[in-house]
Structure formats: structure tokens, C-alpha cells
Amino acid sequence: MSHSDGSGCPPEALHTQVEFSTDQPQEGSPETEFRQRPDRSFLRKFYNRRLRFPDGEELEIWSFEDERSGRSFPGPLTRAREGEIVHVELKASKSAHTIHHHGVEPDPRNDGVGHSSFEVTGSYTYQFIVNEGKPGDPNSGAAGTYFYHCHVNTVLHVQMGMFGPMIFDPATGRGKAFVDDPIGYDTRAETMLVTWSSDRRWHRMSHGAGLDGEDAGLNRFEPTNFYLLGGNLDTPPRREGVHSIDRIFATAEPDAPGLLRVNNANYVPTVISFGGGLKAELIAHDGRPLRDTAVRPSPPVSAQTDKLAFGAAERYDMRLRPPRGAISGDTFPITVQWLHWITGETLASKTTTVELL
């Protein structure tokens, strides 16, 4: 069916499935239309490297690096403020890739999806503006937690490691989770936790595995190793390699709590359990604060829990609330379970520690 409306727009091309899978529109180094002066610029250059994980596993990883990050995994943090124009330059290093800034909503050319725009084999600068929040308005504002990833043969490329964390702050910067965050957080205790698992069978595949109709077994994600990736956001890691979490900081201060940002970057559901009386006070989901929208203006709302269940690509922001009487140096366990996407059985669990500053 053509989408042409008579205004000169090309109709959508028709394809068989194998044509569609093998022949996405590719452009070497397309131009960024209506290019503006950016407030923030980031470089995301493709790399591939064999990386060693904390459990001794060695995997072929494809990911992104910038001028300073070295070949680390996940890719470097993209962080900007509401109202800023952001440029992200992808250098694809000859193979075809894109960057989809997951949860960011620009026009299709800047959305990083092959079939609705193009794949990049040279370089392309994605351009978007971080939507600005207004206090009490549930219809605006983008401050929150995101991630970015390649959207070419996505099932494989994301599992190979082509993703990185992304955070938008309100215009005032760090310390508030969103424009009318009534409490804020202690910036020393801001943590990114990425739940991820790997299927080592997949890490031996080529970029285009399965696209020509071969049975690459990409319908079967059977994770063999499980990781808590990320780290403290106040002291970004300098070293190359795998960034995994060994400790999460929180505070005993009710008016300046720790802030935990979580992102499920694999394909199976995960459950986080908070132990020792520690509670998670949920304040935002998928980059949008939770609000009471029965009234105008619509104030932020939250709720405490000791269990959070979330699936592939979801993000949550939460204040970490220790039990009354807790003091600096106290520790609490956080356990992450990975569940089978069909049976719901627990595949594995990992525990890390929350320490009060």
C-alpha cells in the first residue's frame, strides 16, 4: 500500500520478508537536516573486542567508544539536560549500524531505525532536543533514565553489547531527578544498574546472522552468564573493559537519599528484591515521573516497595530508603533474579550490596 499522498512523497516500497531483512536502506554518511548548534555533543564509534568479564567469561563484544572511554562495556554515558540540543555522532566503521536513543522521540531520520530511515555505514550525527519539563505538567519533560542501542539486526547487535546508558537531567542539572522533584538526591549516591545476561552461542555470530533466511537460532536466547553492569555516576569509571557493579551507595538522610536508576538491557524479565529493610521508593518509569493526574497541576507521586519486577528495555528511577535508625556504614543486600521468558522459572540470581554513606 502506498503512503504517497500526492505531495511528492515516495510510497513505501513493498518487499518480501527476505528482501526486507537483507536490503535495508543504507547510506554512507547522510546529512543531518536542519542542523543546529548543539548544546552537547557526543561521539559514538563502533568497536569490537574480546572482553573479560568478572566471572572469567570472555566474550566477543561489539559496542561504542568515545574519545576518552576506551573500549569499555556498556558504552559511554550520554548525559544532557532538558532543553538542550544534543548531537550524537555515530562512526559505524564501515559495517552498517545505527543508534536508537531508546525513549527519546525525535523525527524518524534521527530515530536510528533502518526501515523508517537509513542504516549508517560511514558516519551520521543524530540530532534531537531534550523536551523541557514544566512543574505539575504530565505532558512535558524528558528528565529520567534511558539507554541507547544499535537498531540494525537488533536482536543480535544489542546482545553483542551495542548499548550504553543515557540520562537526562532537568535544566538545573544533577541533584533533582526531574523538574519538580520534591526531594532530590545526594549526587554522591547516584547509581546506574543495568541487568544483563549473555548467551555465549550468540557471541560467535557475524553481523548479518540470520538476515538471509538462515536459521541462526536467534529465537532462542538461552543466557549462560549473568551480570550487574553499571556503576556509581558520581565517579565515572576511567578504566577500559567491563563496568560491573560491586557496591551501590545510599544515604540515611531522608531529604537527600541515594538515587538508583535501573535498566533491563537483556531480553528476559528481571526482579529486584531489596533486603534488610531497605525499600525502593519508585518515582519514575521510562523517563517520565509518576504523577497524580486526577488534579491540575499534577504533583509527583511515589510508593515504596521491596520488590520491583521489570522486563526488557524498561527503566525505573527510585530513591533508596533504608529502615529507620540506619546509620552510615550499614549495608543491605539487593538481589536480582533473571526469569525465563516463557516458563517464568528463575534462571539465575546475583546479589550486590547497598552501603550507606
Cα-Cα end-to-end distance for the chain: 60
Query: Binding to another protein (CB under 8 A): which residues in 106-125?
Result: 106-108, 110-111, 113, 115-116
**C-beta atoms surrounding 20 within 10 Å:** 14
How far, in whole angstroms, is CA 100 from its chain's centroid? 10
Query: Binding to another protein (CB under 8 A): which residues in 272-311?
Result: 272, 282, 285-288, 290-296, 298, 301-303, 305, 307-311
What contacts 10, CB < 8 A, 6 or more positions away?
A: 4
Instruction: Convert residues 322-341 into a mask of x (bound to another protein by CB under 8 A) and - (unbound).
Output: -----------------x-x
What contacts 144, CB < 8 A, 6 or more positions away?
A: 103, 167, 168, 177, 178, 284, 286, 287, 288, 289, 315, 317
By CB under 8 A, residue 351 contacts another protein: no
By CB under 8 A, residue 8 contacts another protein: yes
* Contact in structure between 355 and 329 (CB atoms under 8 Å): yes
Query: Binding to another protein (CB under 8 A): which residues in 222-251?
Result: none
User: Closest separation between CB of residue 277 and another protein, Å?
Assistant: 17
User: Closest separation between CB of residue 147 and another protein, Å?
Assistant: 11
Cβ closest to another protein, residue 45 vs residue 87? 87
By CB under 8 A, residue 5 contacts another protein: yes
141: left (phi over 0), alpha (psi -120 to 50) or beta: left
Cβ closest to another protein, residue 140 vs residue 172? 140
User: Closest separation between CB of residue 65 and another protein, Å?
Assistant: 23
Q: Which helix or strand (DSSP H or E) is residue 283 part of?
A: strand 279-285
Give the three cell numbers for residue 251: 544515604
In angstroms, the CA 99 to CA 191 distance is 23
The reply to whether omega before 333 is within 30° of 0 (cis) is no
By CB under 8 A, residue 6 contacts another protein: no
Grid cell 515521573 is found at 289
Cβ closest to another protein, residue 21 vs residue 353? 21
User: Closest separation between CB of residue 188 and another protein, Å?
Assistant: 27
Q: Residue 93, CB half-sphere, CA atoms under 13 Å: how many?
A: 11
User: What letter does residue 171 receive in the DSSP assignment?
Assistant: T
Instruction: Convert residues 134-163 into a mask of x (bound to another protein by CB under 8 A) and - (unbound).
Output: ----xxx-x----------xxxx-xx----
Give the three cell numbers for residue 59: 566474550
Question: Which of 58, 212, 234, 255 lies at the binding interface for another protein (CB under 8 A)?
Answer: 212
Query: Binding to another protein (CB under 8 A): which residues in 167-206?
Result: none
User: Closest separation between CB of residue 41 and another protein, Å?
Assistant: 15
In angstroms, the CA 127 to CA 106 distance is 8
Site stretch for another protein (CB under 8 A), options 11-19, 50-58, 185-193, 349-357: 11-19
Query: Binding to another protein (CB under 8 A): which residues in 44-103?
Result: 85, 100, 102-103
User: Closest separation between CB of residue 36 and another protein, Å?
Assistant: 7
